Amino acid sequence: MKIKFTYITCLFLAVSTIINAQSNDAIDNRTAFAFSNIISKAGKSKKSRTLDLKDIAGNPYANVAFLPGKILFKNEKVDKLFLLRYNANKDIIEVKIENDVIDNVLISGKISCIIGDDLYIYTSYKDNKSNSEKFGYIKIVHESDDFTFFAKQKKTFYQEKISVDPLVPSHRAKFVGTKKFYALDNSSNTAYLLKKRKNFLAIIKSATVKKSMKKFMKKERINFKKEADLIQLLKHYNKIK
């Protein structure tokens, strides 16, 4: 799968939107129609319930605080800044609207969000390991013509456990988070989990490029748990492929 827009393009759209909004406060009919289609109707009639986290360890969010962001509708700007956060437990993007009502951004492949500096898109891809199709929000790390590196974040909730066995520890209710990085082959829309050097090397077709990338990863000590390292890795791949 080839992502239709790049992270840099999205940031440019976000900045230009703010500038244009200052000179034109009116929202045209087209934008107004788009706005009505990017927010779900769940929270319109009453304030959505918020989870009481005081007795729970952790939280379900990639970012607890709502961050300023943009919503892109069919890759086009919606002339409004939003307060957004990604709920990694429910795999939804929450938006704070009037009177502190919390609603959800409509789930659609036509709608993407920039939350702070991070680009989230809702998409489908084939998981190479399970050979099954996956659906959900992914966070774009970096893109090239051949590959898109992305992160899949997840927060799993565990109920409180009170053990009567002194050898088995008790624990309070908690959210436990994971973040996995993938290389998406744009031509086949297949995602490969990135855990070690061999995972990325296995999907490079050119023997010459593979040899060069192996040396680069060893020299630079690429850590597949760090986004900055993955960006560095894909940039280097783009230079030598």
Q: What is the DSSP string of 176-229?
A: EEEEEEEEEETTTTEEEE-SSHHHHHTT---HHHHHHHHHHHHHHT--TT-HHH
Is the same domain home to 236 and 157?
no
Residue 77: the pLDDT is 65
In the chain the first and final C-alpha atoms are separated, in Å, by 19
Inform me whether the pLDDT recorded for 14 exceeds 70.
Answer: no
Q: Give 84-142 as a DSSP string.
A: EEEETTTTEEEEE-GGG-EEEB---TTEEEEETTEEEEEEEEEETTTTEEEEEEEEEEE
pLDDT of residue 131: 86
* Of residues 79 and 66, more confidently modeled: 66
Mean pLDDT of the chain: 82
Has residue 1 been placed in a domain?
Answer: no
Report the alpha-carbon angle 56-138-119, nearest 5.
100
With 80 as the cut, is the pLDDT of residue 52 above it?
A: no
Q: Is residue 2 part of a domain?
A: no
Q: What is the mean pLDDT of residues 85-89?
A: 96
Q: Are 214 and 169 contained in the same domain?
A: no
Spatial distance between the Cα atoms of 38 and 122, rounded to a whole number of angstroms: 13
Q: Is residue 54 part of a domain?
A: yes
> Is residue 186 predicted with pLDDT exceeding 80?
yes
pTM, two decimal places: 0.78
Share of the chain above pLDDT 70, in %: 77
Residues 177 and 217 in one domain: no
CA distance 73 to 51: 29
- What pLDDT is stored for residue 39 in this prediction? 64
**Which residue did the predictor score with more confidence, 34 or 203?**
203
Higher pLDDT, 66 or 27: 66
What is the average per-residue pLDDT within 74-86?
A: 82
Tens digits of residue pLDDT in 125-142: 999 988 899 999 999 999
Whether residue 228 is predicted with pLDDT greater than 60 in this model: the reply is yes
- CA–CA distance, 121 with 127 (Å, rounded to integer): 17
State residue 169's pLDDT score. 81
**Total of domains in the chain:** 2
Q: Is 113 left (phi over 0), alpha (psi -120 to 50) or beta?
A: beta
Residue 162 has pLDDT above 80, yes or no: yes
Shared domain for 143 and 51, answered yes or no, is yes
pLDDT mean over 50-63 = 83
Q: Which domain holds residue 171?
A: 7-193
Q: pLDDT band at residue 51, thresholds of 50, 70 and 90?
A: low
39 lies in a domain? yes
